[in-house]
Chain A
């Protein structure tokens, strides 16, 4: 079964009463849900939008939750929402280059060009590759957990991870296409 970090924090919750409500269990997951939604999104506002859609769906579907590993269950819902939104938006492309494009949280001293490059390399990935990369690298899930969350064979997890990493590397190398040498 997928590792369930949220279960532990619930058991140690502040008051037994608050720990009982489904809403409060979801509330404790908000930071990791926010990070995952942002890692899939094109911008901060896009990430918040995905997060809100996900929370709404989690609440509506609460009766379908089997009572174990709420975090992984919510991540599965988020991944599906993201994939569906991506399909819709690729049919109806909108203006993407607004001032919220790029990564803005923390580390404002970081290199803005590098952040933009990273965001663009991520945006070039298909949703299938990107979600696997983020679940493994940023969210720290084991390959088998990812396979279960996305209902795909572990071999597919590995091949998506591999392609995501290689495409990212190729995209990030793409700017370096001209050598500055004195011509002969």
Chain B
């Protein structure tokens, strides 16, 4: 039995998130949360998490084209269907392993987590977002960009309009990098832009632009993550981040070139 004097436990908070409390207890937990902002914040986080998880997987609750063949009554003769499937998978994964070495290099960084050094709001993680965009798209073989450099005028108009900013694609040929193209990306929860460049050896770097919630200015800063360097700054309403797997000196030269051309 519970009444308003029964202490609210952590299990109650989970049951609150999961809709497992009866009406009376739910009201008691709601009252408790009004007086306990820390717990309320955590509960909100868990609720958002639950929404995201449900949304992420609900689309998979469907029949597959071959479901009925999976469920054919099993026979006693011959190897099970899984034998052939697994033999094929083994071959496929070997090919993937051999051909995916480059992707694997990026993947390692993905999983090499860093301990949090400071808490900051999601709105301030421009270099983190830039690094993730680089990791996701620089290793992408088929669709690294949405609009290619062969349609540069359209690319710049389109992204500039979405970003509400007079965008230019910096010319980095003096640094040995030419434009591959760009794509629209969420940055700080709003429309942002990513430009991708590539040198003659196929080495890529990305330039991320996002709207800054407050008009501020920063000095230029570096963030290093393994061998990936990110150089970033905020100038007024736009935040910029340049990420690449090149030396810091090289990236700085590129970032300065970007800065010079964005400013002009």
Contacts and interface: CB of A to CB of B under 8 A. Distances in A.
B82 A52 contact: yes
Interface in A168-184: 168-183
B53 interface: yes
B60 A47 contact: yes
Contacts of A84: none
Interface residues of A, number: 68
A52 B15 CA distance: 33
A138 B54 contact: yes
A86 B140 CA distance: 27
Contacts, number: 187
- Interface residues of B toward A: which range? 35 or more
Interface in A100-147: 103, 105-107, 110-118, 120, 124, 133-134, 136-138, 142-143
B58 A97 contact: no
A118 B125 contact: no
Contacts of A39: 53, 56-57, 60
B120 A114 contact: no
A82 to B, nearest CB: 14
B60 A173 contact: no
A107 B59 CA distance: 8
A31 B18 CA distance: 22
A38 B57 contact: yes
B127 to A, nearest CB: 6
Given A35-B58, A94-B97, A106-B59, A27 B121 contact: no
Interface string A135-162: 0111000110000000000000010011
B219 A183 contact: yes
Contacts of B20: 142-143
A110 to B, nearest CB: 8
Contacts of B140: 99
B63 A31 contact: yes
A177 B129 contact: no
B60 A59 contact: no
Contact of A177 (B10, B89, B118): B118
A165 to B, nearest CB: 5
12 contacts: A35-B60, A94-B97, A96-B111, A97-B139, A113-B133, A113-B136, A114-B186, A165-B49, A169-B45, A175-B132, A178-B223, A182-B218
Interface of A: 23-24, 26-27, 30-32, 34-35, 38-39, 47-49, 52-53, 55-56, 59-60, 94-99, 103, 105-107, 110-118, 120, 124, 133-134, 136-138, 142-143, 158, 161-162, 165, 168-183
